Amino acid sequence: MVVQQPYGVYGYRFQDSPQLPLYQLFATGCQEVTDPDYYWDGMKRIDGPLYLFQYTISGFGHFRLGGETTEIHPGTAFLTEIPGNHHYCLPETSDHWTFYFVLIRQQHLQGLWKELLQTVGVTPSFEPTSAVVRCLQSLYADARGNRIQNSLQASALVYRLMMELLQFSTAQQQIKASWPQPIQQAAAFMEAEFHRLQSLDDVAAAAGLSKYYFTRMFTQTTGSSPMDYVTKLRIEKAVQLLRGSTLSVEEIAYTVGFASGSYFSKVFRSRVGFPPADFRLAKELPSIDRLQFD
């Protein structure tokens, strides 16, 4: 259950340095709406350009984007931009709508917002105990407690919320237990055979799917293509061998499944940022024994 905080709305108009790409918090609040006249038309608002993230605690409201209307029940949020072709309101069938909201200036956020819409969608759902909701509550508590004193603090809080939203989508993709059984089988096969895989045909066969359908399903489920997944496994193993064995770079390349040392070095550098030989010797680099890849 979401711990509901006292109602209030808090706005911010900090004078940001034009040299700094800060995320500008416009307003945040916790509100309970009971007035049947509560209605916002995204094309008629004059406070934009803004992005709005609104999360329902209790009751429900209507959010209409274009010609499609969605009931926004507890645990559901909506993301939209102002101005925009949307409406949200308290419908006649709802006696109240209680929610948190955050309004953010669009400056510097366009690319990130577009990525959010692609990954979490326009009307995502979040468990009350999720990191996204806790972050939203924390931001509002800081506003209510008058702890947001300057644009740097405000930008950091907005950035944290954006990252939690992105992480939510990524985490869903990384939970293997939630993957369809054929994808789990394929992932297990790749993890066992990555060092000798030559094509996707064997992997698709292990999943019991056609190569085309398997590739599409795997990418949609995990967020990466099958070959990207194999490459990640190979590079992770290569990092272990570079730090924990005396094998040459060429020998490591063949051991983890690359056709040549030169191609391995090219891929390793693109993923890690340094050639494998430099990584092994740690010249002008921090000594790293394990690297995490997404």
List per-residue pLDDT tens for the chain, 294 residues long: 555 568 999 999 988 777 788 999 999 999 999 999 999 999 998 888 999 999 999 999 999 998 889 999 999 999 999 999 999 999 999 999 999 999 999 989 999 998 888 778 899 889 899 999 999 999 999 999 999 999 999 999 999 999 999 888 666 656 677 788 999 999 999 999 999 998 889 999 989 999 999 998 888 888 788 999 999 999 999 988 988 889 999 999 999 999 999 999 999 999 888 889 888 886 555 555 555 555
Pull the structure tokens for residue 172: 């869903």
pLDDT of the residue at 106:
92
- Angle, helices 200-207 vs 181-193, to 10°: value is 140
Longest dimension (CA), the chain: 74
Residue of 69, 77, 114, 75 whose CA lies nearest to 93 = 69
Tell me what pLDDT residue 48 has: 80
Residue pair 154/12 in contact (Cβ under 8 Å)? The answer is yes
Residue indicated by tokens 């024994």: 289
| The two three-digit tokens of residue 241, written as one number | 């061998």
- Measured at the CA of 223, the angle between CA 133 and CA 180, to 5 degrees, comes to 90
Give the C-alpha separation, 78 to 90, whole Å: 14
Q: What is the layout of strands, in order, in the sheet containing 86-89? A: 39-41, 86-89, 61-65, 68-72
End-to-end CA distance of the chain: 31
Calculate the alpha carbon distances from 105 to 51, 54, 109, 113, 170 in Å: 6, 15, 8, 11, 25
